[in-house]
Amino acid sequence: MDIRFEEAEARFDGRIVLHPLTLSLSERRIGIIGLNGSGKTTFARMINGLVIPSSGHVVVNSFDTSKDGDKVRAETGFIFQNPQNQIILPILKEDIALGLKNRKLSRQETDVAVARVLQRFGISHLAGRRAHELSGGELQLAALASVLVTEPDILIMDEPTNQLDLKNRELVKRTIEGLDENIMVISHDLELIEDFDRVLLFHEGRLAADGRPADTIRRYRELTR
């Protein structure tokens, strides 16, 4: 993973949401924390091209998000805060197969890929289920399967344990711990990211701290006093 922010800034309606930022990221597991409205989600969405810099550049694995949007999105997978909104088709296995449509695979190749990713997350029994029939934890696993079936290099997750009960939170936490992909997690759940390689703290649209989880989390607690 090679992500570079080069004086990248984000403005919405003339308001600076993320001040010019120069930063390089290569660690396998990175946490992103901060108060609501701090700029952390905008930062994450700039990585996969959902937000294009108002000035400066964001480069992901050698692809500029402003010029190479399709290639950037092939490198990055994004799981939104509400994974139910991410599942488009009513039946889970059909939704996962949809992500492979542009690859022009045969029906058999698609079926094999879908079965493999369902098995990877232990949800083969949910293949024929509808999204509204799934628990919060099952929805997160379903969203993971639908994104990772395309084999992105980088996975970004926005509040993956938000509004989950203890059982489902532990399920999702264990799953994240077992992922082989490069992952970036936006979270208010500080325990979830306390053993990551690096944690970034955003505050009022600026990078306020960057380093080891313990140090960055301590700075975050100081800001919330």
The predicted-structure confidence for 42-100, as pLDDT tens digits, reads as follows: 999 999 999 999 999 999 999 999 999 999 999 999 998 888 888 888 899 999 998 88
pLDDT one-digit tens code per residue, 168-189? 899 889 999 999 999 999 999 9
C-alpha span between 167 and 70 (Å, rounded): 37
pLDDT given at position 182: 96
Place of tokens 């997690």: 185
| 3-state DSSP assignment of residue 67 | coil
pLDDT given at position 86: 81
Q: Give which of 38, 23, 15 is closest to 204, Cα–Cα.
A: 38
Domain chopping of the chain, boundaries: 3-81+146-223
Is the pTM value of this prediction over 0.75?
yes
Q: Give which of 137, 156, 169 is closest to 78, Cα–Cα.
A: 156
CB 171 within 8 A of CB 161: no
Q: Which residues contact 109 (CB under 8 A, 6 or more apart)?
A: none
Is domain 3-81+146-223 in CATH 3.40.50.2300, yes or no?
no
Instruction: Give me the chain's average pLDDT, please.
Output: 93
C-alpha span between 178 and 176 (Å, rounded): 5
